[in-house]
Amino acid sequence: MRKPIYANQEHQQAIETYLILCEEFVKETSNKVRYQNYLEVIDIILEYHNSYGTGTKEHNFFDWLMIIPINVSVATNGYFAALETKGNRAILRAYKVVLDEMLQETVNKIDKIETTDDWDLCRNSKAIR
């Protein structure tokens, strides 16, 4: 799987924690094929995140920081919606509640990250991987 580019250590910690939780919940509810399909979607999200704003002067730092949590949240909730049956509804909804709380914590951490003049340098060098 592709490695995300991070703005700094705080960004890395927040994103990695959220990704691990999402991936573990999906793994617990899936067979190997479905789990691999989910990871392929996550890889597309990471590719989009890593290439955001490449070659342009106009991009938004906060939007870039939020690409992974927003898109992974949508992908994971959509995945759970597709899997839901009467038999697993309770567990999937419990996972969704935990993931929603974790998403809010992740967003709160990311919201505190300050933009710097070095953001273009970070984006161009792909410094923190």
Domains in the chain: boundaries? 9-125
What's the mean pLDDT in 68-78? 97
What per-residue confidence (pLDDT) applies to 127?
Answer: 46
Total-model pTM: 0.84
Confidence class of residue 122 from pLDDT cuts 50, 70 and 90? low
Q: What is the pLDDT of residues 84-104, one digit of tens each?
A: 999 999 999 999 999 999 999
What per-residue confidence (pLDDT) applies to 58?
Answer: 54
What per-residue confidence (pLDDT) applies to 12?
Answer: 94
DSSP conformation letters of 12-81: HHHHHHHHHHHHHHHHHT--HHHHHHHHHHHHHHHHHHHHTTTT-S---HHHHHHHHHHHHHHHHHHHHH
Confidence class of residue 113 from pLDDT cuts 50, 70 and 90? confident
Beta bridge partners of 6: 128
Q: What is the pLDDT of residues 12-70, one digit of tens each?
A: 999 999 999 999 999 999 999 999 999 999 999 999 999 986 655 556 888 899 999 99
